[in-house]
A and B are shown apart, each in its own frame.
Chain A
């Protein structure tokens, strides 16, 4: 914090004009993004899912039977098709599927964003350190990355859950983050390697900046957009891994996720009788991952002027 403070004092009057390029860059990026059809579809879908996640808090307030986990309709004890009382029908013990779907959106966002954020944090830090230090540290970190990269994350988490018993949702998030950083760190390392040779890093070195300062004040702002881009793809993979884990029956039993809903449908043998129960969770998982993927692809175009020119030609 003190470091930040001293900078603000030393060029306090420069601070306001310096802020504007950031805003301008964002607006410029946005104007490119706006033109992208895939980006627009992705963002719209994402907003719908965010609204779903927000709405998930309301149904249990209206009536306790709409609680996604514990709420059971007293009149129903088996799976029923959609009605006015239950918009998407009920599951095998009379819980409302629509409410479970809303709650699932909340879990998916929570898992996706927190796991992606952690893996990006780890991947960016490791990538920058490896790229900046080269020599033995670089070799060791990158070998480690190679090793983790060849491990199928889902199966690793499966093995761990067999050894350590039922994993709770935050342990799953942590494990996903721990196994999904190598891809990011490779990209960040490559970027750092090219940044390192630029004159401004040389200048910072001559001015006496420490390695720590060079990495976090001079290199980090330049790799951050790239990290952010990779975060959208990591969100996708985190959501898929959690859903697959829940589908196989190794999810957190105290939460309702879309993967778990699919597991219930599958394991209770309602697959062929209850399309109103089989279809919604799968469509939601697929659409949510699609929307993050589309967001990422559109952002890629914003960040990479080469791709942007292509779009302009069309």
Chain B
């Protein structure tokens, strides 16, 4: 019951934040120099089509009415027509969303688990060589410049060694061939995903490792660890069942806090690897002055951040029964 109330409270908070973001974006698009009509209506459209779109978006109305139209259009999923693709923005971003979620969630989950696991080992061997090397390695991985790492990955593993494709998400020949089955397609995507995944993984696991290590060192000083030792439990049991689950909690929080940062990184990775996701679409739209697409991709990314924050909060409540809301 408690947790349901908490989720409800967070949902309302998220809704308010989202509403503010929506409003700020609306104002920005109207305040920016230039005519909002040129921003939403493709200059190459026929006059009739343009007039129809203007009426649909309410661009000929006073500003307060435009805002109402904007909200109505948003909740009915009408984001306008992309300048570049010439089709409804909604269909484009809905097409890209699964790709982003696939890459993003896989990398976050993998790097969090690896960080927690390796941080546990590092803290257990504190002060020894293995700890020093792990900490240093994590520090270096954490501060590598992401787009550069991506380029280096492509250069080494895509170009020189040639193990993985240079970019993209699928091999068109395999997908166009009707005889190729599910597993072949699955393997094809996995093959394309290795490099972007490795890039995101290397950037993220370092910070989780460092956090897990220091959190674990704090936890090991707690009284209940002493109690566990006094009971005569083995070191392995103490480490894996008593210390680690508690020490992992701050890591979960940090995953939530660093989500916005990770999504920026995700956009960079998608762009360099030509991974057809929302982040790449946003960068692409901004480069081409495709305003309707840019606006919608940005809103979608903001939604993803907010929802993942909620997921992390709920996860935290689930993992730590001591928390009372």
Contact = CB atoms under 8 A, between A and B. Distances in A.
Contacts of B259: 150
Given A151-B260, A286-B148, A314-B127, A272 B142 contact: no
Interface in A240-270: 240-241, 243-244, 247-250, 259, 262, 265-266
Contacts, number: 125
Contacts of A65: none
A282 B148 contact: yes
A158 B282 contact: yes
B291 A248 contact: no
B233 interface: no
B97 to A, nearest CB: 15
Given A151-B260, A151-B302, A244-B268, A158 B286 contact: yes
Interface string A205-224: 00000000000000000000
B282 A150 contact: no
Interface in B266-312: 267-268, 271-272, 279, 282-283, 285-287, 289, 291, 294-295, 298, 301-302, 305-306, 309
A52 interface: no
B240 interface: no
Given A244-B146, A293-B142, A155 B257 contact: no
A154 B257 contact: no
Interface string B142-156: 111111110110110
Interface stretch (A18-26, A28-36, A85-93, A159-167): A159-167
A151 B17 CA distance: 11
B264 A147 contact: no
Contacts of B272: 266
B144 A153 contact: no
A248 to B, nearest CB: 6
A250 B283 CA distance: 10
Contacts of B302: 150-151
B145 A272 contact: no
Given A149-B260, A278-B155, A282-B152, A155 B21 contact: no
B264 A249 contact: no
Nearest to B29: A163
Contacts of A164: 32-33
A237 B145 CA distance: 11
Interface in A110-142: none
B: contact size bracket: 35 or more
B296 to A, nearest CB: 11
A162 B294 contact: yes
B151 A262 contact: yes
B228 to A, nearest CB: 21
A293 B207 CA distance: 11
B32 A163 contact: yes
B interface SS class: helix
Nearest to B16: A143
Q: Which of A250, A281, A286, A297 has the most chain B CB within a 10 Å cutoff?
A: A286
A158 B283 contact: yes
B28 interface: yes
Given A160-B28, A164-B33, A282-B148, A150 B271 contact: no
A244 B147 CA distance: 7
B306 to A, nearest CB: 6
B134 interface: no
Interface in B146-203: 146-149, 151-152, 154-155, 159
B139 interface: yes
Given A163-B32, A164-B33, A240-B145, A293 B286 contact: no
A264 B286 CA distance: 19
Nearest to A165: B33
B20 interface: yes
23 contacts: A149-B257, A150-B17, A150-B305, A151-B260, A152-B263, A152-B264, A154-B267, A155-B263, A155-B267, A155-B301, A158-B282, A159-B295, A164-B33, A237-B261, A244-B146, A244-B268, A249-B287, A262-B145, A272-B155, A278-B155, A286-B143, A293-B139, A314-B126
Shortest Cβ-Cβ A-B pairs, 5 listed: A282-B148, A154-B264, A163-B32, A162-B286, A290-B143
